Amino acid sequence: MSEMTQTAAKPRIERSATASRTYAIFLIIGLVALILAPMFFYPIFLMKLLCFALFACAFNLLLGYTGLLSFGHATFFGGAAYFTAHVVKEWGFPPELGILTGVVGAALLGLIMGFFAIRRQGIYFAMITLALSQMFFFFCLQAKFTEGEDGIQSVPRGHLFGFIDLSGSTNMYYFVLAVFLIGMVIIWRFINSPFGMILRSIRENEPRAISLGYSVARYKLGAFVMSAALAGLAGGLKALVFQFATLTDVAWQMSGEVILMTLLGGIGTLIGPIFGAGLVVTLQNYLATSQFPVTIVTGVIFMVCVLVFRRGIIGEFYASRLGRKLGFEHRR
């Protein structure tokens, strides 16, 4: 038996070397594609895509790396959009401070929601997050500063650091891209940190983690707040891109959409949700002008995904023969 495990152990190390090489190549290709993309695609569409990609990755931090299915992430995304829009429009905050306000606001909301939800698991956890996000939805509907059904309109994009004019879409695109990349680096570092290691061990075997002396609830809360803050980063960004914040972003459908994006792309893969978000946003864009109802299409795709490729696009790719040859591995 020990003979077998040793032979199993060897290729693992070699594989991780190939993996880091392929990762580097794919990373460079991805970056070049993102930098050149505005030459070929409509920038607003690309910015929308990046915002949702970041949102889905933030959500995946919780679902994929902590094993908690939140059904209330619209609160952080939409909440941050309102906070950013409000402080930028009414208080004249510069864009960077506006987004920071959104992030801090979302983190605080995450702390409150997480505090109540973290004590339960599975369906109860999902239901508590849903209930709290519905409460937040009605708060946004009634509160003065959100301007109710109208939403906060014509939010100025302002000047980044006081001198980069963001009103043009080229400048704005590269700003969004930079924020997106910073968000991704934060997520990557978070899951590959000592803290991330404990999160993984909790997901793998929670009673064992407790018996090793870890206060599991605190780690889960930490992940929840981090996920909320990053969802807030995406939401604040979106408010600046579209120059408005409305009830759509805090509605429960948004929480559902982000689950769909993450599932489609691949739960527990770092970049899967980017592709999931890309697919959903692209479909919505193309189908918006056709007669065909978007929800039916996304619904069918969702069912196909769950029935046929449960690992999601990227998860299936990692697990495929080609993916394994390139040195990827799918953990779950």
| Alpha carbons 162 and 263: distance in angstroms, whole number | 40
296 binding other proteins? (CB under 8 A): no
182 binding other proteins? (CB under 8 A): no
For residue 148, the SS3 value is: helix
CB of 63 to other proteins, least distance (A): 17
327 binding other proteins? (CB under 8 A): no
Q: 235 near 100, Cβ under 8 Å? A: no
Task: Name which of 31 and 212 has its Cβ closer to other proteins.
Answer: 212
| Alpha carbons 177 and 194: distance in angstroms, whole number | 28
Give the residue from 166, 177, 182, 232 showing the smallest Cα distance to 47.
177
Q: What are phi and psi of 40, to 5 degrees?
A: -110, -25
Which amino acid type is present at position 60?
N
CB of 168 to other proteins, least distance (A): 34
| 81: its two tokens | 């959009």
8 binding other proteins? (CB under 8 A): yes
- Considering only residues 263-282, where is the footprint of other proteins by CB under 8 A? none
CB of 203 to other proteins, least distance (A): 9
308 binding other proteins? (CB under 8 A): no
Task: Name which of 173 and 219 has its Cβ closer to other proteins.
Answer: 219
| 132: its two tokens | 């709290």
CB of 209 to other proteins, least distance (A): 8
- Considering only residues 199-218, where is the footprint of other proteins by CB under 8 A? 200-201, 204-205, 207-216
| Alpha carbons 127 and 117: distance in angstroms, whole number | 9
Binding part of the chain for other proteins, among 67-75, 184-192, 246-254, 295-303 by CB under 8 A, reads 184-192
CB of 2 to other proteins, least distance (A): 6
Task: Name which of 13 and 308 has its Cβ closer to other proteins.
Answer: 13
Task: Name which of 60 and 134 has its Cβ closer to other proteins.
Answer: 60
Give the one residue of 55, 175, 190, 317 binding other proteins; rule: CB under 8 A.
190
| Alpha carbons 80 and 250: distance in angstroms, whole number | 9
Task: Name which of 201 and 285 has its Cβ closer to other proteins.
Answer: 201
Task: Name which of 191 and 280 has its Cβ closer to other proteins.
Answer: 191
* Torsion sign, CA atoms 70, 72, 74, 77: negative
Give the one residue of 189, 293, 296, 299 binding other proteins; rule: CB under 8 A.
189
User: Under 8 Å CB-to-CB from 175, ≥6 apart: which residues?
Assistant: 95, 160, 164, 166
What angle do the packed helices 312-319 and 252-265 form, to 10 degrees?
A: 10
| 137: its two tokens | 């939805």
Q: 165 near 171, Cβ under 8 Å? A: yes
162 binding other proteins? (CB under 8 A): no
User: ∠57-264-294 over CA atoms, to 5°?
Assistant: 105
The contact pattern for other proteins, residues 13-32, with x = CB under 8 A and - = no contact, is x-------------------
Number of residues counted as binding other proteins (CB under 8 A): 36
Q: 256 near 73, Cβ under 8 Å? A: no
Binding site for other proteins (CB under 8 A): 1-2, 4-6, 8-9, 12-13, 189-190, 192-198, 200-201, 204-205, 207-216, 222, 226, 331-332
